[in-house]
Amino acid sequence: MASQSSYKYYSNLKEISQVRSIAETLMLNPRVRKISVAEAYELACRQPGVAVTDLLIYPKQAARLGLPEGARVFNDCHGKVIGRTATARKFYNRIPPLEKRKIEGDLREAVYQMEKHDLIKAEAVVGLDPDLMLKATFITTASDAANVFNWLVNFAPYDLLQDEYRQSKVLPIQDIIIVGFNEWSCNDPYYTNIGQPQLALVDEKHNVIFNLGMRYFGERKKGTLTLAWTSGMRLGMAACHGGIKEIDFSDCEDPVCRHLGKRSIAFYGLSGTGKSSHTNSADNGGTLPRGFSKVILHDDAFQIDTEHKICRVWEPSLFDKTDSRDLNHPDWPYCISLMNHALIEVEGRILPLGLDVRQANGRAILDRDLLGTWVNRCSFPRALAWLMKDSSLPPLLKYRDNYLAVAMGASLVTQRNRAENVKEEDLLKLVFEPFANPFRVYELYKDVDAFKNVLDSGADCYTFNSSAYWKSSDTDLEDIKLQDSLTLQTAILTDALEWQPWELLPGALLPTRDSVEKLIPGYYDKYDPALRINAGKYLELLKNRFQQRQEYLMSSDLQTRPDLLKQLVDTLNIIA
């Protein structure tokens, strides 16, 4: 088997953390009933707050899951909190001993409350490549069955992959345990309280997460992925909150393209930066050469194995926002489950209405088949692309200095969005999210080392500005069209661009006028940094943004690696 039980993993059983011991004792209680995906579906359909629609679950997946013929998609509405709550997260291995003891006691009390309910558990396989599979168990109340169903189909029910799992590579990693208890009550001001107390306790060293007082499915999904990514990191791989696809040019009509062979490109960005658009585009807006073929690994989560030059996927499904999907959107036939959607009656049929009509952050679990051809492993990436909304940056940069490339990824700029449960005023603030991964629970220098290793192993690195670029001020901007970004992506894959140094940022390159104008006429007049109106103010903004990057890195745990920190910070100097 792949991951290991506590008994097999710990040579000294005294090394098991109290958090894992509490979770495992609950998991092994014979009163906790193990259920299948079909049983979870049946329970969920009877759950208060869940409405069964007239939209069929994607038939191919419904049959695979053993659901009844004609099984229909249900919609689970969560109430006030419709996103992840970062303030509720506590990291067990970072808190002082007295705080640990307090939390351990509160966990025992929570489980005591929980065991008065009808409890269920389900088992899944996280990871679909035979060299990277982990077993996970989710324990919760029967009243949380919708989240159990969603969790099972977001990953893979253990029963469906047990033969493959038993033959998979044995890993020095513990099985994952997730505990959810929505009905948790606690009036302790130590815990986040948004109408009810909330706690997401992470013990990444022992592969356990407790979600207390948290209904939103994203907490379960991203919690499980957090432990999976961290497990991959413990195995020496780079953890990627991003999308990756592989383009095969071998059968292209153009002989110049045919010699390119297979090339993978990976995109890193948070919601709204174009990660899925870049990864999932059928043909890069019509710019890929005739005869190409494409496979997609995933648009959200994977691991890069630099030792074996391979990338591996964690999930068989997509957890997508539906704010741009109307009633006639072609993705609905691939739907498996919904949450936080409005419903509408159309000629006697009850159907989900996307477009975030009911509230922000409506979500759907969709089958990967909608992406076309998918794989569970793909080739090592030829290119990594940081996607960020930063009006001081031109549409595309390439890095010839790997330390600068990593520094830009480690200080990736973004803005909060309604996929996260934050205050309205916080949505306006620029924030840093290293490598676009808010689920990192280990030291930042470990990600820096991992991505530096990926680049030193042969990947090139780029930044796409996915919003708009300074025209005359930080409010008067040149919009950067997705079509132009897709064209530039194809140009990267096909070696169609030539590069020249950007004098303002040593180590960074801009596409040359001649090479880019052949692809996007008028590009240089629009986006040449030298043509910014109010150039002095522009330079001031650019310096400020890069100074913020430096300050962010200097305030991080990279302080424990002073030589590495200096190499990164020194590359982030704007030269006027």
- The DSSP code sequence of 412-446 is -EEE--TTB---GGGGGSEEE-GGG-TT--S-HHH
Here the tokens at position 519 are 């692809």
Task: Give the residue-averaged pLDDT of 305-331.
Answer: 95
Q: What is the pTM of this model?
A: 0.94
- Paired residues of 386 in beta bridges: 268, 463
- Please state, in angstroms and rounded to a whole number, the distance separating the CA atoms of residues 319 and 50: 18
242-299+380-571 fold:
Phosphoenolpyruvate Carboxykinase; domain 3 (3.90.228)
Question: What is the model's pLDDT at position 426?
Answer: 63
- Please state, in angstroms and rounded to a whole number, the distance separating the CA atoms of residues 324 and 315: 23
| Residue 332 clears pLDDT 70, i.e. is over it | yes
Here the tokens at position 197 are 């107390």
H-type alpha helices, 252-304 = 255-258, 275-280
The fraction of the chain above a pLDDT of 70, given in percent, is 97
* pLDDT, tens only, 86-99: 999 999 999 999 99
| Residue 420 clears pLDDT 90, i.e. is over it | no
Task: Give the residue-averaged pLDDT of 277-281.
Answer: 94
The torsion region of residue 203 among left (phi > 0), alpha (psi -120 to 50) and beta comes to beta
| Residue 430 clears pLDDT 80, i.e. is over it | no
User: Can you give the C-alpha Rg of the chain in angstroms?
Assistant: 24
Here the tokens at position 67 are 């659901």
Task: Give the residue-averaged pLDDT of 272-293.
Answer: 94
| Residue 210 clears pLDDT 90, i.e. is over it | yes
- Please state, in angstroms and rounded to a whole number, the distance separating the CA atoms of residues 234 and 388: 28
Task: Give the residue-averaged pLDDT of 243-248.
Answer: 98
Tell me the pLDDT of the chain averaged across its residues. Answer: 95
Domain segments of the chain as ranges: 6-238, 242-299+380-571, 324-363
| Residue 30 clears pLDDT 70, i.e. is over it | yes
End-to-end CA distance of the chain: give it in Å, rounded: 58
| Residue 423 clears pLDDT 60, i.e. is over it | yes
- Please state, in angstroms and rounded to a whole number, the distance separating the CA atoms of residues 381 and 267: 10
Quick check: 41 and 73 in contact, CB under 8 A? Answer: no
Enter the DSSP assignment of 506: T
| Residue 428 clears pLDDT 60, i.e. is over it | no
Pairing type for strands 176-181 and 132-141 reads: parallel
Mean pLDDT lowest among 60-74, 112-126, 256-270, 426-440: 426-440
Quick check: 206 and 104 in contact, CB under 8 A? Answer: no
Question: What is the model's pLDDT at position 416?
Answer: 59
- Paired residues of 174 in beta bridges: 4
The torsion region of residue 323 among left (phi > 0), alpha (psi -120 to 50) and beta comes to alpha
- Paired residues of 267 in beta bridges: 243, 385
- Please state, in angstroms and rounded to a whole number, the distance separating the CA atoms of residues 182 and 196: 10
Q: Which of 388, 412, 410, 405 is nearest to 506 (CA)?
A: 405
The fraction of the chain above a pLDDT of 90, given in percent, is 94
Task: Give the residue-averaged pLDDT of 383-409.
Answer: 97
Angle (CA) 498 381 270, round 5°:
95
Provide the pLDDT confidence category of residue 429 given band limits of 50, 70 and 90: low
Question: What is the model's pLDDT at position 415?
Answer: 58
Here the tokens at position 514 are 């001649």
Q: Does domain 6-238 have CATH number 1.10.3720.10?
A: no
Task: Give the residue-averaged pLDDT of 137-160.
Answer: 98
- Please state, in angstroms and rounded to a whole number, the distance separating the CA atoms of residues 17 and 203: 9
What phi, psi does 48 have (nearest 5°)? -55, 140
Sign of the CA dihedral running 482, 488, 489, 491? positive
Provide the pLDDT confidence category of residue 418 given band limits of 50, 70 and 90: low
For the purposes of burial, counting CB atoms within 10 Å of the CB of 551, is it exposed (0-12), middle (13-18) or buried (19 or more)? middle
Provide the pLDDT confidence category of residue 431 given band limits of 50, 70 and 90: confident
Question: What is the model's pLDDT at position 312?
Answer: 98
Half-sphere exposure of 11 (CA within 13 A, CB side): 1
